[in-house]
């Protein structure tokens, strides 16, 4: 299976890193990821880690999710989670605060795949169309997700049919997404 790069993810990540460097003079920092191994780590400081995105090596896909669930996932879904190692990135979309989820390490990738399978199993049990979560939002009962059928990016109320269209595509969503960092 050939997976294409998601150039808009690279561009968003570059904007995110540039914002951190402009505001704080260093790479993005995370307290939550401190102590967890990753190819992204550029420096450990006190109780936080500074990181920069790194290529996802060795190359991978979400094939195990497809196999476990007997589903074909959209190419942009594969690319989103297997293009780079990076920390999760806070952002805003049309005034909505969110945290864009990323893969921190190979071990994190295994956990992510298990969580995606669990998400898809729950959706199937509730007879909902399949989605891949992309970001969390402050409301714990909702996520931003990629519809595996249409390719739309949605604000999805978990366990419900309630879904709000945010963007017609993941690439478009990432292009207008605004990075934020703490004050």
Domains of the chain by residue range: 7-179
pLDDT score for 176: 96
In this prediction the pTM is 0.94
Q: How far apart are CA 114 and CA 108, in angstroms?
A: 10
pLDDT tens series, the chain, 183 aa: 445 668 999 999 999 999 999 999 999 999 999 999 999 999 999 889 999 999 999 889 999 999 998 899 999 999 999 999 999 999 999 999 999 999 999 999 999 999 999 999 999 999 999 999 999 999 999 999 999 999 999 999 998 889 999 999 999 999 999 999 887
In this structure, what token pair is assigned to residue 134?
Answer: 């992309």
pLDDT score for 55: 95
Residues 129 and 118 sit within 8 Å (Cβ to Cβ):
no
For 140, residues 6+ apart whose C-beta sits below 8 A from its C-beta are none
Architecture of domain 7-179: 3-Layer(aba) Sandwich (3.40)
Residues 148 and 77 sit within 8 Å (Cβ to Cβ):
yes
pLDDT score for 1: 40
Using N-to-C axis directions, what is the helix angle for 106-125 and 75-82, rounded to 10°? Answer: 150
Q: How far apart are CA 146 and CA 27, in angstroms?
A: 28
User: What is the maximum alpha-carbon separation in the chain?
Assistant: 48
pLDDT score for 4: 60
Q: In whole angstroms, how large is the CA radius of gyration of the chain?
A: 16
Residues 105 and 38 sit within 8 Å (Cβ to Cβ):
yes
Residue that is written with structure tokens 């806070």 in the block: 90
């Amino acid at each position: 299976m050939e997976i294409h790069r998601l150039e808009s993810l690279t561009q968003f990540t570059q904007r995110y890193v540039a914002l951190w460097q402009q505001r704080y003079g260093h790479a993005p920092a995370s307290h939550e990821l401190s102590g967890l191994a990753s190819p992204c780590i550029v420096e450990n400081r006190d109780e936080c880690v500074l990181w920069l995105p790194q290529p996802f090596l060795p190359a991978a896909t979400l094939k195990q999710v497809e196999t476990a669930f007997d589903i074909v996932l959209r190419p942009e879904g594969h690319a989103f989670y297997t293009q780079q190692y990076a920390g999760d990135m806070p952002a805003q979309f049309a005034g909505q605060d969110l945290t864009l989820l990323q893969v921190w390490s190979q071990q994190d990738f295994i956990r992510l795949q298990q969580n995606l399978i669990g998400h898809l199993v729950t959706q199937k049990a509730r007879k909902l169309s399949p989605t891949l979560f992309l970001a969390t939002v402050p409301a714990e009962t909702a996520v931003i997700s990629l519809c595996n059928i249409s390719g739309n990016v949605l604000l999805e109320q978990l366990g419900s049919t309630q879904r709000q269209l945010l963007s017609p595509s993941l690439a478009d969503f990432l292009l207008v997404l605004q990075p934020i960092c703490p004050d």
